[in-house]
Amino acid sequence: RKEVEQDPGPFNVPEGATVAFNCTYSNSASQSFFWYRQDCRKEPKLLMSVYSSGNEDGRFTAQLNRASQYISLLIRDSKLSDSATYLCVVNRYNFNKFYFGSGTKLNVKP
Amino acid sequence: DTEVTQTPKHLVMGMTNKKSLKCEQHMGHRAMYWYKQKAKKPPELMFVYSYEKLSINESVPSRFSPECPNSSLLNLHLHALQPEDSALYLCASSPGGTDRETQYFGPGTRLLVL
């Protein structure tokens, strides 16, 4: 079983829509959780860190459910510029190895 | 400043060449990483250095040789590569040894092996 699993999409949504991605992780020792955004032919860029039950940053909300071992990312009022691949990344305490999901592709259409 | 720099941006090399990729960070991070990324796939871990010591080698072929000259620098030496090694090579760093490790990526080197 993969450490981190994501729906690869693509998710095709109109501008202004709300879209949610889920990510599940298999190891209950996982401690830190992240969403990265990656544009085509660019490096992953940190979007949000998720350490407790969740956090919000503008139009983006990340939630963590430790009991069910999943993380979600909600994007409200989607913009064309939100089109990218969103990577779910998980890390265990004091262990320098990060586990990546396969990424979820989002296309926001006018 | 959460900047990781990488040089060169692009590299074309033949299968008999020797080249090196360079990575630098000035955030005081003590963990540094090399990843390989193919199109439409997530980054794939190659090596981890922790406090300038190699801590993880993900069974990478010996034609890739990492080096960490000091806590700010990370090199990846390339020799006798194959065309299938063409990919985006990403360097990343994280603080190292904290309970909330966050990883930051450089812009990558796009490598083409002919």
What percentage of chain A reaches a pLDDT higher than 90? 80
Contacts of residue B108 in chain A, CB cutoff 8 Å?
42-43
pLDDT, tens digit, 9 for 90 and up, residues B8-33: 999 999 999 999 999 999 999 999 99
Residue A73: which of A90, A91, A52, A55 has the closest Cα? A55
Is B90's CB within 8 Å of A44's CB? Answer: yes
- At A80 the three-state DSSP class reads helix
d(CA A19, CA A38) in angstroms, rounded, equals 17
Task: Tell me, yes or no, if A31 comes closer than 8 A to chain B by beta carbon.
Answer: yes
Note the helical H segments in A1-110: none
Closest-CA residue in chain B for A100? Answer: B42
Is B50's CB within 8 Å of A100's CB? Answer: no
Residue A87: which of B35, B77, B11, B80 has the closest Cα? B35
Mutate to test the interface with B, among A34, A43, A85, A107 (most CBs of B within 10 A): A43
* pLDDT above 70 (res A19): yes
Residue B1: the pLDDT is: 62
